Structures are given as C-alpha cells and as structure tokens.
Amino acid sequence: MAALVATGLVMAAAALGTGALAAVLIVEQIAFAWAWVRILRASTGTTLLVAAWGVLGDVVLLASDRPSYGSLAGVVGIAVAVMILYQLARRRSAPVSGAGSVSANGSSPVSANGSSPPPGPAVRVGADLAAALSGIIFCALFAGYLALRVGSGAHHPADLLVIAGLLGAGGTVVAGRLVGWAGVPVVPAGAVGVLVGAALGAGFGALDPDRLAVGAAVAIAAAGAAVAAVIDLVLARARDAEPRVGPVATSALVADVLLTAILPLASAAPLVYFVGRHLPA
C-alpha cells in the first residue's frame, strides 16, 4: 500500500537523521505537488512552483539557527505573493476565448455534443490560484516533521517523537482502509484505525520507556491518528461522490494513489509538532 510505503520511508529517514528526513520529505512533497495539481487540473507551472516552495521551506528549516514551524511563515508569505503575480501574468497573456466568446448570432457557443465550452482565462487562473495556494500550505504543513526533528525545546528525543506521530497517522490510515476493505463502513473503520494508531504508539513507547514514556508516545500517536483519520474520511467521501464516467487515465490513478497516501500524513504534521513540543518531561 502506498500509505504504508510513504509512512515507512519518512519514519526510517527520521531515525537516520535530519538530512535523510529532509531528503525523503522533499521527494514526497514533490510527489504531492504533482498529484495535487493533477487532481485539481491546474497548470504545469503551478506544479513546479508548489514543489519549489515546498523544497525551499525544508531548506529554510535546515539553515535556520533556531528552526521552528514559525520559520516557514516567511516562506509561505513570499510564495503566496509569487503565485498571485504568476497567475496574474498568465491571465494577461491568455487569449480571450471560451466562456467569454459568442457565436455570430450572439448566442453562447456549445460543442458538438451539447456541452458547455471550456472555461475562460479568468476561471482557469482562479482554479490554478486555488490549487497553488492550497498546495503550498499542505507542503508547508508536511514540513512539521522536519521542524520537530531539527528544533529544540521538546522534553523528549525529537526522532522518537516524529516516529511515534507517524506511527499513529500512518497506522490509522492503513488499518482503517484494511478494515474498510472488509466491508466495514467508513466511519467505524476510521475509528478502528485511530485505536490501532494509538496502540502502535503505546507499543513503540514500550520498546524504550526510558527515552520516550508510553504515555507520551500514546499522546503524540493519538494526535497524528485523529487528524489522519479525519482527512482519510474526507478523501473517502470525495472519492465516493465523484462520478466515474468512462476509463480513467493512468496519470489520474497514480495521482489519486499519491494524494491519498501523503495528504493524511501532511495534515497530521502540525498537531504532531504541537503535541511533541509541549509534552511534559
């Protein structure tokens, strides 16, 4: 399963060190940027910009003297400004056609099969801007694991905190989907996944309670599990609501797999960071 692979890679990298963790996060952020923009049908340029700013956030965390999640605020702010300027430039250079054009008799054009024409430049630019801004935010959220790993102030080993949080988030997604495949409804399956994620955290803490107490491991695993379960539920609902008409392109299938594997982990990172930084000794 893609979720298992994505989680395992980040966990292994967190155990190896900050450089390895940054490298794996960069790869998964680039994969997420492509999948997110592909699912939302935005432009290739948007993909490149979202991926570039995800990488830049990781570099800022590694280069900062006092790294923290707050270090990413400036990166996100500049990214938003750049994305707005880029989309405005695209709108000015786009030809006026599509939704804004009319036929010779004054009516709106329609295709041969009676469908509406492609959206005009303003609509396309607006959709691209929404995809870009949300993609940049999710990439920045994903960097929370690196911020926790390289930061100071936590009362427990940072590598163990990151691994416990990932165990909770990833274990919840994998367990919930396995239970769902057995025929259990989505919500109960997600609840089972959260219990499994918290249990994995307890088991991880029991391996070396002198470094990471069981209670602390359960707390941070449960934090990651709760967020991941909610995001996975939203993804499942969205997938069920989307109409399936005709064959699906291979790229769309790959994007869907990457998105459902990475998005729950990225969304869980902020709460994992917060709980990890504030767990008592």
DSSP the chain: -HHHHHHHHHHHHHHH-HHHHHHHHHHHHHHHHHHHHHHTT--HHHHHHHHHHHHHHHHHHHH-SS--GGGHHHHHHHHHHHHHHHHHHHHHHS-S-GGG---TTSSPP--TTSPPPPP-HHHHHHHHHHHHHHHHHHHHHHTHHHHHHH----SS-HHHHHHHHHHHHHHHHHHHHHHHHTT--HHHHHHHHHHHHHHHHHHHHHH-TTTS-HHHHHHHHHHHHHHHHHHHHHHHHHHHHS---SPPPHHHHHHHHHHHHHHHHHHHHHHHHHHHHH---
What's the pLDDT at 249? 77
Highest mean pLDDT among 22-31, 153-162, 229-238: 22-31
Q: What is the mean pLDDT of the chain?
A: 84
Q: What is the dihedral of CA 27, 268, 236, 13, to 10 degrees?
A: 30
Across 223-243, b (16+ Cβ under 10 Å) vs e yields: bbbbbbbbbbbebbeeeeeee
Higher pLDDT, 123 or 166: 166
Taking only the tens place, the pLDDT of each residue in 62-72 is: 888 887 788 78
- The pLDDT score that the predictor gives to residue 224 is 95
| Torsion angle (degrees, nearest 10) of CA 15, 17, 23, 27 | 20
CA distances from 120 to 38, 74, 125 (A): 19, 33, 9
Has residue 121 got a pLDDT over 70?
A: no
pLDDT given for residue 258 in this prediction: 93
C-alpha to C-alpha distance for 22 and 57, rounded to whole angstroms: 10
Greatest mean pLDDT among 100-104, 252-256, 271-275 lies in 271-275
* Per-residue confidence (pLDDT) for residue 104, from 0 to 100: 46
> Looking at residue 142, what is its pLDDT?
94
Does 31 have pLDDT greater than 80? yes
Under a CB-based contact definition with an 8 Å cutoff, are residues 58 and 10 in contact? no
* pLDDT at 158 > cutoff 80: yes
Task: Provide the pLDDT confidence category of residue 123 given band limits of 50, 70 and 90.
Answer: low
pLDDT at residue 26 is higher than 50: yes
**pLDDT at residue 105 is higher than 80:** no
Q: What is the pLDDT of residue 154?
A: 74
What was the pLDDT predicted at 99? 43
Read off the pLDDT of residues 190-237 as tens digits, 9 standing for 90 and up.
999 999 999 999 999 999 888 888 999 999 999 999 999 999 999 988
Mean pLDDT of 159-180: 94
